[in-house]
Amino acid sequence: MPSSTSSNRARTGAEPAQAVTGESRILDLRRHGGPVKVTLERLPESRVQLEIEVEPDRLERSLDAAYKRLVPTLKIPGFRPGKAPRPIVERMVGRERLLHEALDALVPAVYSEAIESEEVEPVADPELEILETEPVRFKVTVPVRPTVTLGDYETIRIAPEPVEVTDEMFDEQMELIRRRFATIAPVERGAQWDDILTADINGTVDDATFVQDEDVEFPLREDQRLLLPDLAEQFLGMEAESEKTVELPVPEDFPEQFANKTASITITLKAVKEEELPDEDDDLAQQVNAEEFETIDDLHERVRNDLQETLQRQADEAYRLKVVDELVGLSEIEYPQVLLDREIDELIRESHGSDVRAYQAHLAQIGKTTDEFREMYREPAYQRLSRSLVLGELTNVEGIDVTEDEIGEQVEKMLEPLGEQAESMRTMFESDRGSASIRNSLLTDKTLARLQEIASAEPEEEEAE
């Protein structure tokens, strides 16, 4: 039975206005179970409304079928089980119950016939409203597949931004490598930036426990927030086996019971250790990988190349999203709200998992209702949905496809780094669901590459075309 609940959520300001269309037709579905009149109207937000009226003859047959299903379950004095005539049964249970039994079977059947006849493709359960029972007349509002009208994407031109590995990036990466091979030793002095500290940190807000960490070890880094702003600075100059209590403000992004209040933090510093970084020389290069790097210059070259590849990959991803958003802005997109709600659900699952209790505890901690929390995800959900819809339409328009060989090659590429686990994962990758996922990923990559090719075309390339 279709759902009888209704929902009409407002769009965010960033969402495109969805066109209102209207068309009404009268259909005759005699070739199915009997005469049915259907009025079809297309509504905004990718919905179709069907008003359906069932002729009396078909209702009568449904009532008779309902009686036959119902009578074996009744005990009626003077009649053997299942043998009481319909008028007796109807008087005993009431016509309303018989009608309800008939409609439970009739409405879904007629609804299925109507959407099949009109080639309506629902993307979720419809909303149902019974208008009359005799004659049977009901209305269903059906969310259907989105419609996308692409803008003139061939005219999109966005110049890619060049990427460059700066000296600062390179130095930071080399320092991270040196830290991997650093020696750590206790020191008898006050704590300084980049020392490794071991401490107990206990704090309260209005006599409620705010933090309670014992024997926590951490590097003291400058410009790195440590629980609260300015807490890291409180360790500077402290020596091992010393203790101090400080009062610090709690920012507004903390749970409601603590936000915008003052925390009393007691620090017990147990150990201060110093990192001694190795020199940046050939010995370091061979410590990293003696077979691959003979000199420090070899390591430097690899670090610069890796940084360049990473920056270029990030720049390409950002560029593609920028181009897709440009296409979204040029296009007309109409979709049912249920798809946006599903996207919000998916984003929340990705961020917070599917543990309902943990999710509810998180809402209580941040002081948000379910609706308020979902609203926080509406804009990113719309962004992801609209990007997906325009890319899907571009895939169709450009005739982009993926071959079985390409899927096979991608499977092997994904298995290559898995070593001994490769064969156990092969079954999952080559399953129908796994292959479909890989195919969709490859289609998206191809479509994005095509859009990037268009948007980044140079003037001479356009003339050649």
**Residue 3: strand pairing partners:** 127
The CATH number of the structural domain formed by 183-276 is 3.10.50.40
Cβ–Cβ under 8 Å, residues 254 and 203:
no
Here the tokens at position 398 are: 């450009």
Q: Tell me, what's the pLDDT at 78?
A: 86
CA 41 to chain centre: 32
Locus of tokens 């020392």: 195
Superfamily of domain 26-145: Trigger factor ribosome-binding domain (3.30.70.1050)
**Residues, the chain:** 465
Side-chain-side CA neighbours of 84 within 13 Å: the count stands at 21
Task: Please name the amino acid found at residue 168.
Answer: E
Here the tokens at position 159 are: 């110049």
Give the helix/strand (H/E) hosting 103: helix 95-117
Q: Is this model's pTM higher than 0.75 or not? A: no
Helix (H, G, I), strand (E, B) or coil at 33: coil
Exposure b/e, 404-423, CB count within 10 A at least 16 = b: eeebeebbeeebeeeeeeee
Task: Classify domain 296-464 at the CATH topology level.
Answer: Trigger factor, domain 2 (1.10.3120)
Phi, psi (5° rounding) for residue 202?
-125, 135
Locus of tokens 């593609």: 320
Ranges of residues in the chain with a pLDDT under 50 are 1-24
Cβ–Cβ under 8 Å, residues 195 and 343:
no
Q: Tell me, what's the pLDDT at 134?
A: 84
Give the helix/strand (H/E) hosting 89: helix 86-93
Report whether the peptide linkage leading into residue 135 is cis, meaning its omega lies within 30 degrees of zero: yes
Nearest to 55 by CA among 78, 30, 21: 30
Tell the burial category of 142 from Cβ atoms under 10 Å away from its Cβ (0-12, 13-18, 19+).
Answer: buried
Domain ranges of the chain: 26-145, 183-276, 296-464
Q: What angle do CA 246, 251, 257 make, to 5 degrees?
A: 90
Radius of gyration over every alpha carbon of the chain, rounded to an integer in angstroms: 33
Q: Tell me, what's the pLDDT at 365?
A: 75
